[in-house]
Structure 1
């Protein structure tokens, strides 16, 4: 009986103690209002805690009293706030948003991924360039930023004022350019679109090496460059950004004329209760560079460029949608020399690009997400030829053949994707893609239309905690050319240990014939090239592997070393050749076999205030004359070119200053030239090696202002000697005009 009363007494006391407890409930969200799973929710200096669910919800019971609530998870900034727990009551806490930490943002990638994840967890080999690094470089164009990356080179056409990219030894027509995941439109193989994206709106650039044709379709044989624009952090805010930067072009500069480079930008963004509205306008003007030319002629052409951006969007509880407009109005001027009559012939290359895109995302539940993108591009390139009488200043239209020309390209694009989490170890990503391409112009045959329809499915399979596979297939149908019916890919990531990761991949890539190659006819005094509507798509078989070593996660020093190798074989390569039906004409034919291979080693170090990247590669390109001349069996299959690349950033936090140094060595670029047919003979030619280096200093003044100054092309490189064409501008540089100096002012004001 005594024992019975004792139990009654204990239960009563326990009930009284429990009655003093209270409960708090709430949700943990990301900056885009998506729920966060597995977040630690604790009461400071107590044993009480909980984890958020897949819906972001948490519930926590504790004795009545006032506490400090701590909310934390790896990769996001910790938050704390005061809470009161009331005895016997449930208190609902307002939603708590956790912003990604700076390290997390720098390491997170989305291109080709099933969900936003860290670089280390990605199956693909991805490199990122964030907005801070872009600013530290004093960059005014995307090309000048990408040129600092290992394995990326540029070719410059000073006559047309265009610049093209090379990646892993492959030209720009094999590199897919995306703006927020949506393809940019170019009129031919040259990736002019890279120079028509406003660098001031960029959040980061993601570079995926290797074929990505399953997810992104045509032209992604070498890889993908995805330019991701600023979207805000999701919180209520008002911000204004302004920038002005002046730069010499070699020794040419005048602040009140067009000599030198003059860049300015102004933008504003407003966010409130999930709504976001932003706009930006940039002006980039260059007076060109005369170089060794005389009179009015310029080695690098003057350019006037205006870039426009506007965004409006809304983020809800489980969905978000936005519309973005990007506009380009650009004029490149080719100035002719004065003739005996004191007149000259000039050409204006006028580009207008109006790019509209609407995107949306919807999370149905924790397992199923949908996303879609719809875009329309209206892109035109006009040649305006005029004659100017320098005696009177009167300018008239040139009347000779092909003097006036305008080509118009319009593209409507749609992509719809579902992301389905079958289980914690199986992800599926099915999608559809529709492309409608139209063109017209004086040199284009008729008004052709090309439609392409694709269905693709990619997946991610976690075979074991250490092995992750990503197989995929793309099925496509094109209305004009013979496209490969099925594009396969298989990528794998194997965690060999806590420090070592191995990535391997095989993919079939393809490149669609450009509208220029299909329909464009170009005839003048020195050219006679016709398009060929019977072209087939190029396709490639590509293999790559990357062995990555990462320093321990908790080490104060972060070090990553990546050893990579690749091998690509291209079939049905499109090239120019004599028309077999008319040997007086040149046309495009599927005639060439081409190969590239190479090795790379890149090391990244973060130690205290130092960030350093040092790497090198050795790239081999196929000796193409072996395809046509059987008598040249003693020649090597590949010709090789080395590259060394260094980026160093050192910060002085106490004085708000950072120093950025960049250096790149580009080795000799050899090639064999056929010199005789009876007997067959060839000679080795080469473009010589060269060095480039930049030095930039950034100084912060308070929260809102910084000044940047520096010098580019410290070695004063202007021309690269070639054993075949004498001295001229190198086809592997973004345009060398000698050493330049720049000074810039950046203002960033934010209400919060």
Structure 2
């Protein structure tokens, strides 16, 4: 599973570089730039996200470096309204926004949705995104279907990757990161080990290119389990104590990428190629105590998933005439996941036989999007933006089809979409932006999505923005095609499902104040309401043979209501952020008559602190986040839905980043300082089952990390 362990070239190169620079005492004599806001309102130059239409929160590269995250989950964990949900078995980490899971959040890279196991842009495993390739992350809250189509119900996360350099020449970057997993760490065998290399060449002011490779090796989280080669033998008999394996399964990720940016006159062409490989091992906790030729030969039936993904993205942008500009994107992506089930010989520590070796999942996506803005640029009162989006996705997912399904469904969905946004500016302070999108789908009913946003500038600093918009969430592969039928079960998907419809209202008021001579306070207040109708949930009915059938239907609704207050205070070398959200959730399950008539309210708090010491070229930072009780929908063992409540928890990270020499930087820190591992969910499952309490893994304990980065510019 690992690469070359004892002779890893990444370690050799970094420590050679450190040795060559050991005598260097020179410090950067230029004045350190004043620490900027941790979260600011931004605008992407490669996508149609615009601060005129939406409030865009931006996580900058400096903030990413302060956290030294091992993947994107560590970066987004500190965002106020985002909750990261990890899965210990699969190693996946997905996000939820305002309590709506990853199926309602669209994730883009450079404005293009990412292919996932059985979707495009939604329910993405964010642990698979290489953060060393990220320039910044944009977060937009609210239904954004007009600009981003299906599944952009709760919001959009747009990852902007790095491009060229400011000056001509080369930049070589090499980084190593060693991290404990809880209190577990050994070089190569326990903990997390990350190596990254990237080279960028700014050939001239018009041409740049870059290439790099990254390896992220997670050795698993034991948490009391004994590992792959453990077996309990007493009196020459295998005793199954279920302690074999790990709590969190180990996985290794390799990412290789290359890009080129070329200016042709006033037009820019950007091409990015990426290959991703993930190798996930699942160790069975049960050991088979078999005898072979009179000798005890313990084995275990283990599993392995190997994912390969290729991404080809191209973006072309520039002026058409005057202020009228175009932006064209095209993407081809494919992903394949292979499943292997094999007998592992514990004494021999090798595979004994292969039971299953097959392609488990496959997705192929053709995607294109283009828009033209400032079409009526000569008018001071009216403007127009028009665009199209095309998606063709073909694939299958054997796991989502169900273990008992003999017919693995291959499905193709093609969407043709046209959208337009107009701008009316009756006064210099007021602008009104209505928009609409028409979607023709090969599988679902046609949809018309709409939005209306308005801005009013009371002054240069005090601004009001209101956004009302709609979006829809398409059914996923499992909801459509799942099949689990035997003598005791009859659970099937529903191929007639239609998308859920979502409507959101967001009102944002922002202001900034100058405090003292070098102090600034930025304040953002948000009111929001998200409403889902025709929500998909489990129902009980009868099949054609009169048997009880558990399936899915569009019958529920869900509502989110709340307020957010976010403040950023900057004074000299201090940068302090503090924010809170008061969120109310109301769900209704019409099929079972259960739900809650009133909103269940929860309080979420987030604070961040960064202090820069220019004399020592050091930044000290910390992030504290409190997540209150949340309400969600669960299913019992019979597939019946019910409402449950997940308990609150608090998460704290801290780090110190220091520039040791002009080329070498070190970041030392701790994650999950309060040692959160499990959180409990209490449920009241209705008439058939009483109240229950379950525990869910949310973290792998208090962890410590050290990251060394070597930068060479020439």
TM-score by length of 2: 0.83
Of 541, 544, 557, 2:519 maps to 557
CA spacing shift, 1:449–1:684, aligned 2, 3 Å: closer
What residue number does 1:480 align with?
Answer: 443
TM-superposed deviation, 1:591: 2.3
Alpha-carbon distance between aligned partners in 1 of 2:625 and 2:38, rounded to the nearest angstrom: 27
Asked if 1:305 is matched to 2:253, the reply is: yes
Comparing 244-253 and 498-507, the one that deviates more: 498-507
CA spacing shift, 1:105–1:133, aligned 2, 3 Å: closer
**Secondary structure in 1 matching 2:366:** strand
TM-superposed deviation, 1:685: 5.6
Of 465, 483, 507, 1:545 maps to 507
Once the two structures are superposed, what CA deviation does each residue of 1:14-67 show, in whole Å capped at 9, x if it has no partner? xxxxxxxxxxxxxxxxxxxxxxxxxxxxxxxxxxxxxxxxxxxxxxxxxxxxxx
TM-superposed deviation, 1:360: 0.5
**Secondary structure in 2 matching 1:200:** helix
Alpha-carbon distance between aligned partners in 1 of 2:651 and 2:117, rounded to the nearest angstrom: 31
TM-superposed deviation, 1:576: 3.0
What residue number does 1:49 align with?
Answer: none
TM-superposed deviation, 1:214: 0.4
Once the two structures are superposed, what CA deviation does each residue of 1:547-603 show, in whole Å capped at 9, x if it has no partner? 212125996322111111111111221223345426444333222211111211111
What residue number does 2:11 align with?
Answer: none
CA spacing shift, 1:387–1:110, aligned 2, 3 Å: same
Contact 1:108/1:116, CA 8 A, preserved across alignment: no
Alpha-carbon distance between aligned partners in 1 of 2:441 and 2:477, rounded to the nearest angstrom: 13
Contact 1:185/1:193, CA 8 A, preserved across alignment: no
Asked if 1:240 is matched to 2:172, the reply is: yes
Alpha-carbon distance between aligned partners in 2 of 1:660 and 1:529, rounded to the nearest angstrom: 50
What residue number does 1:109 align with?
Answer: 42
Alpha-carbon distance between aligned partners in 1 of 2:178 and 2:47, rounded to the nearest angstrom: 42
Instruction: Select the structure of larger CA radius of gyration.
Output: 1
Alpha-carbon distance between aligned partners in 2 of 1:222 and 1:353, rounded to the nearest angstrom: 27
Alpha-carbon distance between aligned partners in 2 of 1:607 and 1:663, rounded to the nearest angstrom: 20
CA spacing shift, 1:113–1:169, aligned 2, 3 Å: farther
Once the two structures are superposed, what CA deviation does each residue of 1:510-555 show, in whole Å capped at 9, x if it has no partner? 1122234334546799976433321111111211111212125996
Describe how 1:525-544 pairs up with structure 2 within 5 A. 529-544=491-506
Contact 2:48/2:147, CA 8 A, preserved across alignment: no
TM-superposed deviation, 1:388: 1.0
**Secondary structure in 1 matching 2:321:** coil
CA spacing shift, 1:491–1:145, aligned 2, 3 Å: same
Describe how 1:20-59 pairs up with structure 2 within 5 A. none
CA spacing shift, 1:391–1:445, aligned 2, 3 Å: closer
CA spacing shift, 1:364–1:529, aligned 2, 3 Å: same
Contact 1:567/1:596, CA 8 A, preserved across alignment: yes
Contact 2:363/2:393, CA 8 A, preserved across alignment: yes
**Secondary structure in 2 matching 1:136:** helix
CA spacing shift, 1:579–1:360, aligned 2, 3 Å: farther
Alpha-carbon distance between aligned partners in 1 of 2:152 and 2:196, rounded to the nearest angstrom: 32
TM-superposed deviation, 1:673: 8.9
What residue number does 1:262 align with?
Answer: 193
Of 72, 77, 83, 1:142 maps to 72
TM-superposed deviation, 1:157: 2.1
What residue number does 2:231 align with?
Answer: none
Asked if 1:738 is matched to 2:701, the reply is: yes
Count the aligned residue pairs: 632
Asked if 1:688 is matched to 2:647, the reply is: yes
Contact 1:236/1:272, CA 8 A, preserved across alignment: yes
CA spacing shift, 1:185–1:101, aligned 2, 3 Å: farther
What residue number does 1:209 align with?
Answer: 141
Contact 1:445/1:520, CA 8 A, preserved across alignment: no
Of 493, 498, 510, 2:472 maps to 510
TM-superposed deviation, 1:404: 5.1
Alpha-carbon distance between aligned partners in 2 of 1:704 and 1:592, rounded to the nearest angstrom: 57
Alpha-carbon distance between aligned partners in 2 of 1:270 and 1:591, rounded to the nearest angstrom: 55
**Secondary structure in 2 matching 1:654:** helix
Asked if 1:435 is matched to 2:394, the reply is: no
Asked if 1:653 is matched to 2:620, the reply is: no
What residue number does 1:21 align with?
Answer: none
CA spacing shift, 1:595–1:727, aligned 2, 3 Å: closer
CA spacing shift, 1:362–1:500, aligned 2, 3 Å: closer
TM-superposed deviation, 1:308: 1.3
Asked if 1:709 is matched to 2:654, the reply is: no
Once the two structures are superposed, what CA deviation does each residue of 1:675-722 show, in whole Å capped at 9, x if it has no partner? 9xxxxxx99963322211011001112322111101111111122234
TM-superposed deviation, 1:154: 1.6
Of 595, 601, 606, 1:640 maps to 601
Of 263, 266, 289, 1:340 maps to 289
CA spacing shift, 1:579–1:704, aligned 2, 3 Å: farther
Alpha-carbon distance between aligned partners in 2 of 1:192 and 1:699, rounded to the nearest angstrom: 33
Contact 1:385/1:397, CA 8 A, preserved across alignment: no
What residue number does 1:167 align with?
Answer: 97
Asked if 1:180 is matched to 2:110, the reply is: yes
Alpha-carbon distance between aligned partners in 2 of 1:580 and 1:248, rounded to the nearest angstrom: 52
What residue number does 1:19 align with?
Answer: none
What is the root-mean-square deviation of aligned Cα atoms in Å?
A: 2.9
Please, which runs of 5 or more residues in structure 1 have no aligned partner?
1-99, 676-681
CA spacing shift, 1:441–1:139, aligned 2, 3 Å: closer
CA spacing shift, 1:683–1:277, aligned 2, 3 Å: closer
TM-score by length of 1: 0.79
Please, which runs of 5 or more residues in structure 2 have no aligned partner?
1-32, 227-242, 291-297, 402-406, 684-691
Alpha-carbon distance between aligned partners in 1 of 2:259 and 2:680, rounded to the nearest angstrom: 47
What residue number does 1:414 align with?
Answer: 368
What residue number does 2:307 align with?
Answer: 351
Asked if 1:455 is matched to 2:418, the reply is: yes
TM-superposed deviation, 1:131: 0.7
